Amino acid sequence: MVIIGAGPAGLLLGQLLEREGIENIVLEHRSREYIEKRVRAGVIEYGIAELIDEAGAGERMRREGLQHHGVELRFDRTSHRIPLSELADGKPITVYGQQEVVKDLVDLRQGAGASLFFDSEVVAIEGLTTDSPSVQVEAVDGPVRISCDYVAGCDGSFGVSNKAIPKELLRRHERTYPFSWLGILTEAAPATEELIYCRHENGFALYSMRSPTLSRLYLGVRPEDTLDQWSDDRIWDELNTRLATDQTPEINQGPIIERGITAMRSIVVEPMRYGRLLLAGDAAHIVPPTGAKGMNLALADVRVLFGALVDQLKSGDGRALEAYSATCLERVWRAEEFSTYMTQMLHPSYQDEFENGIQMARLRQAANSKEASTVLARNYVDLNSL
Ligand code: RFL
Ligand code: PHB
């Protein structure tokens, strides 16, 4: 089978299929260096970390990843700890960079001599309603056409695969938000042991980390903002203002080694299957990053898709593949709901005081009611557990 895209979804699917002896080829538009440097997600759900282990790719994640048992909600200059593991059957989250997961999977694949082609853009997908679809690839040495039995579209929201579903069958549900995230990676020891999600009247802030010497921080900014409007001094000042409490010291500052602005969107594409094409990950859905669900959702699709392909290809049982889209979409909408809840609760409105009142009521409930914090914790740690 052909897998389009060497993000976490495509690479994990390839790795799982490889271990079952199911032949597959992964085609990636960008270079190896580019995909290994792309800084994105950092929080891995409990069940998804187990899936990475099951794929034989968890060794470094278990060694270098940070296990967290709580997160903090910060508002009104006050900290409120949500004891995640206590509320979610003892389960922790793992803080480990997406690009590290990608590096581990690329290393495994190349070590095993499995097919993985970089700088190879799929430009067209054909014959999806026949038994032998094919993809047209612009590779380093020129155009190539590859025939296969199935095509896994793991090529993100700007890829080709979701566009291969005929317009009259495709439903696309979309929501944009009136803010973006400015994210930085800095060579500074985290001044917090656990992640901090903060609502301040100036906007959202998030304190996260990658290792004992690397911090990852985000600021909610206006959608029209550009990086040249945000000098280092302005970024640090704003982070310090938003994250300040009466007890905590200033955040640790260091050289900023990566920065970017990301728009916030929710997208769901239905159906996730068309003939021999199966969409997984960002190709089918986008969530705003406030719930830390994007990569987790991508890998959860892969878990379902892998099981369904094994049933079909090893035992000729096509039921799970038939149900693939419906099975995934149920979880996708739950993740959209949770991500929207987290996003709306933590990003203040600059005009609507009614909205701000609702946000504060939600935050107080999430922090002070055991029932509300349990729902938040279970959704955050392991979406499948609710
Ligand atoms: P990817 O990672 O985008 O990979 C798709 C790959 O397909 C390639 N491609 C093509 N290849 C061949 N031919 C074509 N025509 C192609 N078109 C595209 C691309 O080059 C790329 O390599 O999708 P995938 O695998 O579905 O993975 C999804 C995740 O990357 C994404 O959901 C997360 O990063 C979202 N996200 C987070 N998710 C979490 O679970 N936890 C988090 O803490 C979290 N934080 C975040 C995030 C995303 C962020 N940004 C930058 C959007 C924080 C941020 C700031
Ligand atoms: C990150 O560490 O990059 C991160 C953590 C939590 C989020 C989003 C991103 O919700």
Residue 312 scores a pLDDT above 90: yes
Nearest-angstrom CA–CA distance, 382 and 386 = 8
**Confidence class for position 319, pLDDT limits 50, 70, 90:** very high
H/E stretch holding 314 = helix 294-315
Q: Tell me the β-bridge partners of 26.
A: 3, 116
Write the pLDDT tens digit of every residue in 133-176: 999 999 999 999 999 999 999 999 999 999 999 999 999 999 99
With tokens 């566009």, the residue in question is 163
Check: pTM over 0.85? Answer yes or no: yes
Write the pLDDT tens digit of every residue in 71-124: 999 999 999 999 999 999 999 999 999 999 999 999 999 999 999 999 999 999
**Ligand 1: residues whose CB is within 6 Å?**
4-10, 27-30, 35, 40-43, 98, 121-122, 154-156, 159-160, 181, 183, 262, 281-282, 289, 292-296, 298
Nearest to 99 by CA among 22, 52, 33: 33
97 close to ligand 2 (CB < 6 Angstrom): no
Pocket-testing residue among 68, 186, 198, 208, ligand 2, by greatest number of atoms within 8 A of Cβ: 208
Task: Specify the amino acid at residue 338.
Answer: F
Nearest-angstrom CA–CA distance, 341 and 109 = 37
Nearest to 328 by CA among 269, 249, 288, 245: 269
**Confidence class for position 247, pLDDT limits 50, 70, 90:** confident
CA of 271 to the centre of ligand 2 (A): 28
Strand 151-153 and strand 277-279: the pairing is parallel
**Is the N-terminal amide bond of 271 cis, ω within 30° of 0?**
yes
> What does the pLDDT average to over 35-42?
91
Nearest-angstrom CA–CA distance, 59 and 234 = 39
Nearest to 210 by CA among 50, 68, 2: 68
Task: Specify the amino acid at residue 252.
Answer: N
